[in-house]
Structure 1
């Protein structure tokens, strides 16, 4: 298995509080990795550690075999890491069209409009006036347009209608990149259907408690049975 990125025994602290406790997380190339967990579990912090918006207190972050632990987000972005956070992912004072132009290499954002046709009549609207679901469509468009090898998204379908959310996950599974999404529960569109293989990790209180395939999760809830905990 070729890895696009990896956390190696990473610890992240916010002041005196440790949010990640020595997490080892592989991000395979050509796959979609899902980080599951309740609020406070550490899933968003894992994304931030991969993106470089927080730096590890211990351990290392590896990108295509290179240690990037001390590189900040802007530097990692230049190396092909695209991060779509759960808030603040669009430029609220710019129009939808201007947001897309900024994200698109060469200014061609037709791929985003093909993926999210609902954005087409909104091109002249200021992004800050959009609904929550419309803003998420615009934010996820960055992942469709960016020339990135690693794409990180925090709850990409939050606020979207179910049909639009399902389309969003299909688009993400079709990207030619290593994709990592953080979710509270595994979306049905990622549990089945065509596209890139899906790998699931669950976090609780800053530690990994499960790594495996979607079919190994218990049907009733977000977490696996005790027999599926990692060694």
Structure 2
């Protein structure tokens, strides 16, 4: 993995109530490109993301972002440090318009028009519904808005949890195009995804979790080309999930 990762977790343990979910997670996210975080359901992927963001606290271990220890920082301070987080539940304000949702995501309160045009090129539906309440959007459009909110201002790291969950194939293809374009910018991306066509299409590096630990780390290309490794780590073949 990278010698100077933008994000580094070492020996991270997380408890949720009486449950010990993460059991010493070691994870490096290189600067630039997309790191896929894969694993079976219940492996600890979402808990890892929420621990990075300070939504759940690491009981042991450390989280470093851009060389800074953020393990004990509050969530707003972690976001201010340059990390944007898109949870899997399509986090939008349904009673506000698309425009109001986007303005709230801009830390200054004012949206850079050039960057907004760039977002509209990736998500043209948001321009169409700009003055409509977010609650009237379809599930796919809400997911577009969730991602758009996270990238309306430049960030160093974008963390996204299952952006294609429940989406139609045409919208999944749109998401693939979006993340391929984001890869051309300065942002680094940590992406949890169950759609393996998406994972193979956009992933550069990969970490696989099982039972609260990272059990494999390497390149996405190597994992995509090794069916025996896929079966051992994930219990399935990527070729069966086009």
TM-score (norm 2): 0.83
Choose which of 178, 195, 205 in structure 1 pairs with 2:188.
178
Q: Which runs of 5+ in 2 are unaligned?
A: 235-242
Distance 1:178 1:217 in 2: 20
Picking from 171, 190, 206, the partner of 2:212 is 206
CA RMSD of aligned residues (A): 2.4
Residue aligning to 2:100: 98
Asked if the contact 1:210–1:224 (Cα under 8 Å) also holds between the matched residues in 2, the reply is no
> Structure 1: how far apart are the matches of 2:49 and 2:233?
26
Say if 2:8 is the partner of 1:6: yes
1:185: how far off?
4.0
Look up the SS of the partner of 1:124 in the other structure.
Answer: coil
C-alpha separation in 1, matches of 2:188 and 2:217: 17
**Range that drifts further, 68-77 or 44-53:** 44-53
**Further displaced range: 211-220 or 130-139:** 211-220
Q: Secondary structure at the match of 1:180?
A: strand
Residue 112 of structure 1 is aligned with which of 111, 115, 119? 119
1:39 paired with 2:46, answer no
In the alignment of these two chains, the number of paired residues is 224
Q: TM-score, normalised by structure 1?
A: 0.87
Alignment partner for residue 140 of structure 2, among 111, 133, 136? 133
Shift of 1:124: 1.9
Pairwise CA distance, 1:65: 0.8
- C-alpha distance in structure 2 between counterparts of 1:189 and 1:165, whole Å: 8
Q: Deviations over 1:92-122 (max 9, x none)?
A: 1111111122224631322221111122221
Partner of 2:238: none
Name the SS for the 2:163 alignment partner. coil
Q: Distance in 1 between matches of 2:6 and 2:51?
A: 15
